[in-house]
A and B are shown apart, each in its own frame.
Chain A
């Protein structure tokens, strides 16, 4: 009896494993079929899958499973025979059955027996539309076709199932053999054994190597498996959110170690969910953006070297760096000051900060406590990287780059502080001796940098990182630099006491408290049987807190450009501009206070000079005539500390370093000389001469402000409303009763105007109504600030002339 039980258990386990696989596959296939109901191949595939479950469950006496599978098979068979249309209702119904089957199998797995229950609901849901005309039954024909199906099925299963623990123990066994072989090899070498013995051993050694290769291949699985549940997730989520999404996968034949697969399953699902929830716009949003209402999400895998690249690309709104910054600031994970220092890329990478959520509100879909920070951490834990390729407004691609296999990597063995460490070979760019001629090491402000053939790298000493001292037995001559590239666009030099060799390493995760140091990516047992720590080249970077970004580092180009820019900042700079006549001229940047853009109407002529009104200030303008047209024009505002002069220009061209060679003009004038800027002659404006021309006119108003008297201010309007404006425009306002001689009188009433009309002080009469009394009405509406200031200028300008 006991034996039969065991046999049944094995059968049940096989059934469960197989069914779980089939259900995952069926979900994906169903969604693909729903998208294209005419796809007969998909329909047949789904039919076969359900049929297989029905067959196996019948053998194991699982009535509920059999009934469910039968119902789905029946419905699909109706479709195959053309008696029932393939529609969304049918797919939803079959998916309902698939879900119920998954639940049942989960319970079966934990309890070992099928739970009691009723599946009438899901089976009924599938039967709802079965009012379609029923075709006459043709049992014989169906039977035949089913036989066909089963035959194809058998051919499809030319593989056997092996429990994972068994596979893992084979792997461990092989690893042990390799270690024993290595030790044996060392002993053979040391004993000076005879060549025939060594030859025989080498053959053994080769077959062990081959075996190890095969075992690692046994652990490889097609990435299809990882993609299988995605179509279903996309379909359901898109449905819930009312979005239309076309989902495509490619590269499913790429193989990945099953352990890696486990590790990236959740991150991948999370990224896909994010793309649907946050990336893809709502339908109206897509229409507004001029996009196809049906969004596309594509998941693809490809192998490059010993890495697998999995890309999730959507054509949604992409990430907005500025919005991310705002969000980070409001979430208090970033200060406004820090935000300003961020590069565009760093802004994007804010989404990897803990506590960051891009959704304006936390939704049921993405707001489940798993952020991109967890995704990144999980991927990095297995030696992978997460990259963002953002095209704002047009979509985002998230790329997971993971090693093909977690367990065996090629490693570089290095020594530091008297012990060995391994560095993943994939991250090593170059190895150099510190004594090499191409290497220049410099100490800078407590840190070290190394220049290798013109390229600079931050230098980290492994002993310092590890908090150890150098081993006194190390020979300085042996010290080497490992140029490490932990991720794209980053690199640094790691100084080690010596380079040992390359080795194929079996990597195991280290204990959590060792991983928590952030310096190690795992442990390994090399040939000598003594454990070696695998360095986490990315973590070392984080621990050292250095900027290893390669941007702007190359000595030949960027660094020189940077130095040149710094020198240029100290040197005099020249503002290049195109003047009104279209000529390119230059003027020392330091005399320019700012560039104003004003309406052409702000310029007016007074006393034969062009003036500009900017705000409430009036400045002389270096121009022979008023500009034509009503557009805006740009004014360079020159300030000599005493006065301001405006110089009209067409546009600013550039800011360049003031050339040292200037050909001086023969006579003093507007142009001080001519210089060559980037090969073109440029006239240099002489600010001294320019200011000299206008200084005399400007001094008088600066010393003595025109005096304004406000008359007939009965209700205090003049005092309260008018006087402040006059004062800020540079006039001094005196009381009506004051004995001072005023330059101009502002009359607030008609009587007052009449009374004062006889004096030689110019009078401006203000009226209370917006409309003028007639064509000869010289009064100014009291709330027309521009006209009022204009009138004042005319009166005083006239008096001065």
Chain B
């Protein structure tokens, strides 16, 4: 049943569903510490229970301009390759079971979204993109270069 548990959130101005097993927790952040000279999608660092997490701005990853972090903003904490990251979320809606099957993405997505989205899923009469949080950690090669 865990497979059917999704976190529904608005990330980079888009409602998406995140598979719950990919997610560590959802927390709020204070003012992050900036990382000068870091890639543009790195919004800063913050500490949580003596661990340092790297804050990722999903807007930049999908090709939108970056959005400043508001104190108290909620973030989705994920672990990728033994490092802790937090994706800035515009809004966290709900954690819920979605019984509908994940379907192949139909229609053309923006290149940024196409890279992070795995599938689509039907939830309460809306289609949501199912995204893999680990895809937000790295920028597409041509942007990083």
Contacts and interface: CB of A to CB of B under 8 A. Distances in A.
A182 to B, nearest CB: 11
A176 B54 contact: no
Given A176-B50, A523-B45, A417 B138 contact: no
Contact of A530 (B33, B42, B137): B33
Name the prevailing secondary structure of the B interface residues.
Answer: loop
Interface string B72-103: 00000000010101000000000000000000
Contacts of A508: 51-52
A530 B139 CA distance: 26
B50 A172 contact: yes
A530 B47 contact: yes
A354 interface: no
A603 B94 CA distance: 104
Interface residues of A, number: 29
Contacts of A179: 50
Contacts of A468: 36
A510 B36 contact: no
Contacts of B46: 531
Contacts of A144: none
Interface stretch (A291-299, A513-521, A780-788): A513-521
Contacts of B139: 513
Interface in B37-77: 37-39, 42, 45-47, 49-52, 54
Interface string B20-43: 000000000000011111110010
Interface in A518-551: 519-520, 523-525, 529-533
A92 interface: no
Given A175-B50, A525-B52, A533 B35 contact: yes
Contact of B49 (A176, A419, A517): A176
A679 interface: no
A510 B37 contact: no
Contact of B52 (A465, A510, A516): A510
Contacts of A531: 33, 45-47, 52
B47 A529 contact: yes
A466 interface: yes
A519 B37 contact: yes
B33 A532 contact: yes
B33 A419 contact: yes
Given A176-B49, A530-B47, A514 B33 contact: no
Contacts of A341: none
Interface string A392-427: 000000000000000000000000010100000000
A165 interface: no
Interface string A169-183: 000100110010000
B142 to A, nearest CB: 15
A509 B138 CA distance: 17
Residue of A510, A525, A531 with most partner-chain B CB within 10 A: A531
Nearest to B80: A511
A510 B137 CA distance: 13
11 contacts: A172-B50, A419-B34, A465-B37, A508-B51, A510-B54, A513-B38, A513-B138, A525-B47, A531-B47, A532-B33, A533-B35
Given A466-B37, A531-B33, A531-B47, 16 more contacts: A172-B50, A417-B36, A468-B36, A508-B51, A511-B42, A511-B83, A513-B38, A513-B138, A514-B35, A514-B38, A514-B54, A517-B35, A524-B52, A525-B47, A525-B50, A533-B35
Interface of A: 172, 175-176, 179, 417, 419, 465-468, 508-514, 516-517, 519-520, 523-525, 529-533
